[in-house]
């Protein structure tokens, strides 16, 4: 057995003492951890040093490149059309990927949307789509390429060959209190997206109680870091900072979010979901070389719905089948007259999770019909006794803990006591 090029303890010491790792040290670290030459406890110590002391832009860029190099890279050049993708950092009621992918594909741009499952209060795109009878998340690379050529849009699970170092590192960060390290978040997201091979990437970085990043300054730092990583790798990358103080749309769950997405594709749906879908589509199409495309028109005239049905059918789903419904429901009513000033995203997300719409561990099952249906959003006039939210689950013993999560979710007060909040906070390019 040949000797290792570096020593893990020395690498840890450099970051502990606020030093800068060389490109060679970074390459060795990622490779050695992936093949087991660095122990979990050593990488956990290094992750904590990075969380506390940060990394330079060049370090983060090289760390990301090393993670990409740990696996395969996809190549869509044979498609003969531009490719673009979107990544959201996750939020409550964030079903935007569902209408967005087929909407962008209307214009002849391929959308290889590799998505994940939910953990905790943020629902996963794949969990939502699996509420559709027959739909499958796992595609071979050949199936993915064929669907992109034929339909133009794919939403599926990422293959195991993309950035395997990230899969191992993410699992370790999750159990060692280092998930929040911005260099590690940025490199985790961008290593997969760059390895995916998309020509351009639009990032939706959420800010607020229901988001991973509660603080705008941290969210901005993450967005700027990821945009820089994309540009370093030659991927045209833009980020939007978007508001996640309030849930997106009027549903948080799985099947109920699919139905809301279908409503948007049919030319209706909640205003905020439509606004963000159209804005992200405009950004994706501009990045793909089509700045004059009109995605709002493609929602209204049914073209996006046509692509949605073809996309779902291509992955074994029945787009016309009835969606699962929860067996039990309970309604929460307004306690007073006034204006709905706040509807806290985190509280709604935790309630949906407790009702069965999310999972606490990766191996947990989710209930397709569980979740929270909201009947009003901030700014609405409210009357005492009016329904505010309907809780949905197959297991009624879950209602009590869900209601506990919602105890302080709603603030009702006089009109004008809180200014309206913007959905899109800023654009970072």
Kindly list the catalytic residues: 87, 166, 173, 188, 192
Give the whole-angstrom CA distance, residue 129 versus residue 155. 9
Pull the structure tokens for residue 222.
């993450």
The side-by-side arrangement of strands in the sheet containing 328-333 is 251-253, 371-374, 387-393, 328-333
Residue 356 has what DSSP assignment? I
Length reported for the chain: 429
Region at 192 (left for phi over 0; alpha for psi -120 to 50; beta for the rest): alpha
Give the DSSP per-residue string, 359-383.
-SSTT----TT-EEEES--TT-EE-
Pull the structure tokens for residue 66.
């090393």
Place of tokens 């990821």: 226
Sequence-ordered list of residues with C-beta below 8 angstroms from that of 347, at least 6 positions apart, any chain = 209, 405, 406, 407, 408, 409
Give the whole-angstrom CA distance, residue 406 versus residue 215. 22
- Residue 367: phi and psi, rounded to 5, are -90, 125
| CB distance 64 to 184 below 8 Å | no
Give the whole-angstrom CA distance, residue 308 versus residue 78. 23
């Amino acid at each position: 057995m040949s000797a290792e090029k570096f020593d893990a303890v020395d690498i840890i010491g450099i970051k502990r003492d606020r030093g800068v790792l060389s490109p060679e040290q970074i390459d060795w670290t990622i490779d050695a951890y992936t093949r087991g030459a660095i122990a979990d406890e050593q990488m956990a110590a290094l992750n904590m040093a990075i969380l506390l002391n940060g990394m330079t832009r060049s370090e983060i860029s090289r760390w990301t490149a090393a993670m990409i190099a740990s696996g395969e890279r996809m190549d869509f050049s044979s498609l003969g059309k531009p490719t673009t993708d979107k990544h959201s950092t996750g939020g409550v009621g964030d079903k935007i990927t569902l209408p967005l992918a087929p909407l962008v594909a209307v214009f002849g741009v391929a959308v290889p949307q590799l998505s994940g499952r939910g953990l905790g209060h943020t629902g996963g795109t794949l969990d939502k789509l699996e509420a559709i009878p027959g739909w499958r998340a796992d595609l071979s690379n050949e199936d993915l390429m064929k669907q992109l050529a034929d339909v133009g849009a794919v939403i599926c699970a990422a293959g195991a060959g993309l950035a395997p170092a990230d899969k191992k590192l993410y699992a370790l960060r999750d159990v060692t209190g280092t998930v929040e390290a911005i260099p590690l978040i940025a490199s985790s997201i961008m290593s997969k997206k760059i390895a995916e091979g998309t020509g351009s990437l639009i990032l939706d970085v959420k800010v607020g109680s229901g988001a991973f990043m509660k603080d705008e300054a941290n969210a901005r730092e993450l967005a700027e870091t990821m945009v820089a990583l994309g540009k370093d790798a030659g991927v045209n990358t833009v980020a939007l900072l978007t508001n996640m103080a309030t849930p997106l749309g009027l549903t948080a769950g799985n099947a109920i979010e699919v139905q809301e997405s279908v409503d948007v594709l049919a030319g209706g749906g909640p205003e905020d979901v439509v606004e963000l879908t159209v804005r992200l589509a405009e950004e994706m199409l501009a990045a793909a070389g089509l700045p004059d495309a009109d995605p709002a028109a493609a929602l209204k005239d049914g073209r996006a719905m046509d692509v949605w049905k073809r996309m779902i059918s291509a992955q074994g789903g029945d787009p016309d089948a009835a969606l699962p419904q929860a067996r039990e429901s309970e309604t929460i009513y307004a306690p007073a007259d006034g204006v709905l000033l706040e509807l806290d995203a985190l509280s709604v997300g935790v309630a949906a999770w407790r009702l069965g719409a999310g999972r606490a561990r990766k191996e947990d099952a989710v209930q397709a019909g569980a979740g929270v249906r909201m009947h009003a959003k901030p700014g609405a006039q409210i009357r005492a006794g009016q329904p505010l939210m309907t809780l949905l689950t197959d297991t009624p013993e879950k209602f009590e803990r869900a209601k506990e999560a919602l105890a302080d979710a709603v603030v009702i007060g006089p009109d004008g006591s809180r200014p309206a909040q913007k959905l899109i906070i800023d654009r970072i390019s």
